[in-house]
Amino acid sequence: MPRALVVRTAGTNCDAEMCRAFSLAGAEVELVHLDRLIREPARIDHFELFGFPGGFSYGDDIASGRIFAMKVRAGLYPALREALERGAAMIGACNGFQVLVQVGLLPGPAAGRPWPRDVPPGQTLALTDNHDARFHDRWVGVTYEVQSACIWTRGLMDGIEPQMERDASLLPVAHGEGRLVATDPGVISALEQGGQVVLRYRDNFNGSTGAIAGVCDASGRVFGLMPHPERYLDWTRHPYWTRLDANLRTQPTPGLRVFKNAVEAVSKVAV
């Protein structure tokens, strides 16, 4: 059974949901405080899956996810790099996505290039204030890029009838700083060309560049997104689940499929 490590700290509030997601997907889960992990980075060697949950880490002081990210950069990058080099998979949702881009784990090095040894990659993406300067807490429509390299979303709509995809492909969001921007236009172009854009908003409510809601690294194993798949593990969480087709509700939700995909992928690496 693959092992998943979910990292929490002061202000995270989606860690229980992420632990449940990994558990339902077939992984053995451990929830560890960031400070303990920094004191004992060798713990990372025992896990194949890593989750950075949403919330308001450290009260989002300075900027969303900033303190969490700086502590990871300073204390955990070498251990996380080694985990990725041995085939581990990593997800960051909402605040966790904000952390991953500030650490430099997303979008990561270009395809075929190694991770830097001791110093994380420089930050090239950011998640800044929504264009209307408002906090949005609702369900939104998304589309999944079928050509994406992301292992977490591979075949996500398989088995779902085309007429049901629009209903199934909703995800909950809850953020005030979710608008994705890049330090240079070439960064977005490289992501598009490399299959690293994973999903997009249907209505682009927060003004993200290219309506991008989530990206992955070149390997497809590091995945960050502003929506919360871990809050969509049961059809009863869907905003109008009683009106969904009964056949659709017999299958795993797209949110649960995200975690099942990752568990399956790391299981193949372990074999």
Active site residues: 94, 228, 230
Residue 144 is which amino acid?
Y
CA 95, 258, 36, 70 torsion: positive or negative? negative
Residue listed under structure tokens 């591979």: 154
Residue listed under structure tokens 């966790």: 96
Residue 223 is which amino acid?
F
In order, the DSSP letters of 56-112 are: -GGGG-SSTTHHHHHHHHHHTHHHHHHHHHTT-EEEEETHHHHHHHHHT-SS-SPTT
Residue 240 is which amino acid?
Y
In order, the DSSP letters of 43-60 are: GGGG-SEEEE--B-GGGG
Q: Measuring CA to CA, how many Å separate 83 from each of 10, 54, 101, 261?
A: 24, 22, 18, 18
Q: How many CA atoms lie within 13 A of 263 on its CB side?
A: 20
Question: Among residues 11, 2, 22, which one has the least CA distance to residue 230?
Answer: 22
Q: Are 127 and 180 in contact (CB under 8 A)?
A: yes
